[in-house]
Chains A and B, each alone.
Chain A
Amino acid sequence: MQLVRYLYAAVAVGFLAGVAYQVFLAGMAVFGAGQWANHVDFGYLVAAVPLLLVILAWPARAGRSTLILSVVTLLVAQVQTFLPAFREDLPVVAALHPVNAMLVFGCAVLVARRGIALARQPLPAAPTAPDPVRA
């Protein structure tokens, strides 16, 4: 089961790298080196990754706080995908997209740090049945 912890750490670090790349794609679109479509398409992909973290947190025995952090990360990542939809009716709400991006990045950093710490920490031994020979 230690493997699940490694997997959690890998997904968390991958998510952090994905967020950084997503921000780079936004920069590329702003400065004319790329298309906004790349940022939008990759955004939907990367926003789904925290769902894996939520699923993996339980078998990895990551603990309650890490599970909550994973859920919060999923929530802020999903909110991020909805915000640009308000650009026509409520541009002030849509303008929160870059602010929320920093929250996503912050959550990604925290989750990656937790994941790495978790992978380094051996899984607690499961309670074993009493030895029938000694009993």
Chain B
Amino acid sequence: MSSDRTLRLARLAFLVLAWAFVACLAVQLFLVGLDVFRPDGLKAADGTPGVHREFAYLYGWIAPGLVLLAVAGRLRRDRLLLTMALLVLFAVQTYLPTLADRAPLLAALHAVNALAVVTVAVTLALGARDQVRLVPRTGGS
């Protein structure tokens, strides 16, 4: 397989995964809404967490996957750094709620950090198409 083809495949996979991540974030936000507006609130009386928490662990692997694809696809330096920033922001996002008991004000940044996660994810997804176009198509031989 030619180098250009490998690059193109990695960048295509990055494009697909980046949009999949954005779609998951949209679903995640909807699940947050279901959790917030359910009668027993974010945490049920029996202590079980809301569905949005479980869902986050389901698609969370996409963020490190994007970093690997960004490296494999040799994305522009700023894109690579932004992808790494997404991974860091997502890790912070999963950590913040654990501070709820000790530092609720810091835990409250969970919602604000979500804005940053969505902004970076959408920026990456929007720019991913151009990164695919930059690699010339190779023949099918």
Residues of A at under 8 Å CB distance from B? 20, 23-24, 26-28, 30-34, 84, 87, 91-92, 94-99, 101-102, 105-106, 109
Contacts and interface: CB of A to CB of B under 8 A. Distances in A.
A91 B34 contact: yes
Given A31-B97, A97-B33, A23 B105 contact: no
A98 B26 CA distance: 9
B30 A96 contact: yes
Nearest to A21: B112
Nearest to A83: B33
Contacts of B114: 23
A105 B36 contact: no
A23 B117 CA distance: 14
A34 B112 CA distance: 15
A90 to B, nearest CB: 10
Given A31-B110, A95-B36, 13 more contacts: A24-B112, A27-B108, A28-B108, A30-B42, A31-B104, A87-B37, A95-B30, A96-B33, A97-B36, A98-B29, A98-B33, A105-B118, A106-B122
Task: Summarize B's interface: helix, strand, loop or mixed.
Answer: helix
Contacts of B44: none
B55 to A, nearest CB: 13
Contact of A95 (B33, B107, B115): B33
Contacts of B115: 20, 23, 102, 105
A31 B107 contact: yes
Contacts of A105: 115, 118-119
Given A31-B100, A32-B100, A84 B108 contact: no
